[in-house]
A and B are shown apart, each in its own frame.
Chain A
Amino acid sequence: MLSAAVRPPAVRWFPVWQRNFLVWKKLALPSILGNLADPLIYMLGLGYGLGAMLPEINGRSYVAFLAAGTVCASTMNAATFEALYSAFSRMHVQKTWDAILNTPLGLADVVAGELFWAATKSLFSGAAILVVVAALGLASGPLALWVLPAIVLTGLAFAALGLIWNALAPSYDFFMYYFTLFITPMTLISGVFFPTDQLPGWLATVGGWLPLAQGVALVRPLLAGQVPADALIHIMALLATAGVAFVIALRLTRRRLLK
């Protein structure tokens, strides 16, 4: 007779996370390199090429400015991609979620497992960029290590937001709208490529409220060796985004799968 350990609800999502981790482990190196190449090409190309023609921003080179934006944008992209395409494959195409729902795990465990997994993927991605940024001498001092938890928070927020869209998606094509309507414009008004004071006032204000800007506001000072201003507000904003979006995503997914 097998004795199934009854896990407390707080860690019941873990086997779902573990499943995704085991799949990822099989392709870890190509996955990391693939995720690293694109943002690095942009960061190096724009940072050194375009940056050579640009003045310093707040006393730092353009490539150092862009490095902070790149860490956040890759974190966002990694979490988003995982919560959209990969989660959709598992939910809708492979029916992996259906298989799990026949076990003692519930939908909340599955969606939480996916949330934490997407945040983990974004941590791998953001941390890999961070290593390159540090190797290029664009990170000053040990404060830069605090970028890692900032990456996790940013990843959680975008994972949860992506899971909302995943719950609504009829097919993969639907995800293009998420990028063109949300991710791409947000990237341009959140201070990733240029300071938001270049924007019309109202647009800068809108941008400042978006979760990517919250991440940038934490990561950029940390890479420059400074404690971020209003750190607590940005942390709370990211946590609140993750929490509220998760609840909505779970509710929508329940409507989709367990009706």
Chain B
Amino acid sequence: MAALSAAGLRKTYGGTEVVAGLSFAVEAGRCFGLLGPNGAGKTTTLRLCLGLTAPDGGTVTLNGHAIPAAAQQARARVGVVPQFDNLDPDFTCAENLLVFGRYFGLADADVRQRIPQLLDFAGLGSKADARIATLSGGMKRRLTLARALVNDPDLVFLDEPTTGLDPQARHLIWERLKQLKSAGKTLILTTHFMDEAERLCDTLIVIDHGRKIAEGSPRELIAAHIEPQVVEVYDEAGGDLPAFVAAHRDLAGRVETSGETAFFYCGEPRPLLARLAEAPGLRYVHRASNLEDVFIKLTGRELRD
């Protein structure tokens, strides 16, 4: 049975359909990514899954409970890392965990026993009595993750868990999320970082304008939607990029130009690389294509805000 499934989910705000017939299913113990540009409907989808807002159409089942009718029972076995920190600023780290445990009906003694372990997991072992205001952004994020685990949930929702963090902090969060997955927990992740999704997600869906536009594992999506190799060419020191692109367009399956950079998506990049070696004033990078290339192909390059 799926840990989380949605079928035909719809939600309209002010005449705009923010979620427009979304269906997906998440197997227990997997990491599922919900990707999409700003305003695609990711956060609304999460709210619908948690029963924090009622759908205009469609159904959600979470941990075997119908949502939103039995959302409160379902949430007993769920943890949430929200997009914006809402730790209790009046409390210490340990108090934040203790008080949060009470919302789940957990006995203080049980939570107190778990606090050292939870803080260690978050790399905050020495911060039990530290006030929230003294924590760095990364520490707050990790404490929020520890807080989401206070009830030992089966399933954890993570809404952009690493936004605003430095690389060290992001890597630590990724490490912890992998540990949670190995421990059998189901993870539902929204993120804007395609490398994050590629590292962590077993399957993901890309949504835009409330609709699913792609679904699969990161590898499957790359294989299905895009040429395997990318050559990025930069105009540097007076090279003539437009002329180069016009002359060599046929050496790539697809070419996109964005500002001073041209992206050649190719199956076989060698002929192109040979020409580039002879082209003066152009710098290039040759790499394997990744999820970000897929994402941009599917959702376009224009800004969404």
Contacts and interface: CB of A to CB of B under 8 A. Distances in A.
Contacts of B73: 104
Contacts of B76: 4, 6, 104
B244 interface: no
Contact of B82 (A3, A26, A99): A99
Nearest to B50: A102
Residue in A3, A16, A19, A94 whose Cβ sees the most chain B Cβ within 10 Å? A19
B100 interface: yes
Interface stretch (B2-10, B87-95, B169-177, B207-215): B87-95
B102 A18 contact: yes
Contacts of B106: 2, 4-5
A18 B111 CA distance: 15
B151 A99 contact: no
Contacts of A251: none
Interface string B86-113: 1111110001000110111111001000
Contacts of B100: 99, 103
Contacts of B87: 99
Size category of the A interface is 20 to 34
A94 B86 contact: yes
Given A4-B104, A103-B104, A96 B86 contact: yes
A26 B90 contact: yes
A3 to B, nearest CB: 8
29 contacts: A2-B151, A2-B152, A4-B76, A4-B105, A4-B106, A4-B151, A5-B105, A7-B105, A18-B99, A18-B102, A19-B88, A19-B102, A26-B90, A94-B88, A94-B89, A95-B82, A96-B88, A98-B82, A99-B88, A102-B75, A102-B78, A103-B100, A103-B103, A103-B104, A103-B151, A104-B73, A105-B72, A258-B53, A258-B54
In the A-B complex, the 5 residue pairs with the smallest Cβ-Cβ separation, listed nearest first, are A95-B86, A103-B103, A15-B102, A102-B80, A5-B105
Given A102-B50, A258-B52, A258-B54, 18 more contacts: A4-B151, A5-B107, A18-B102, A19-B88, A19-B102, A23-B88, A23-B90, A23-B91, A94-B88, A98-B86, A99-B82, A100-B103, A102-B52, A102-B82, A103-B151, A104-B76, A104-B103, A104-B105
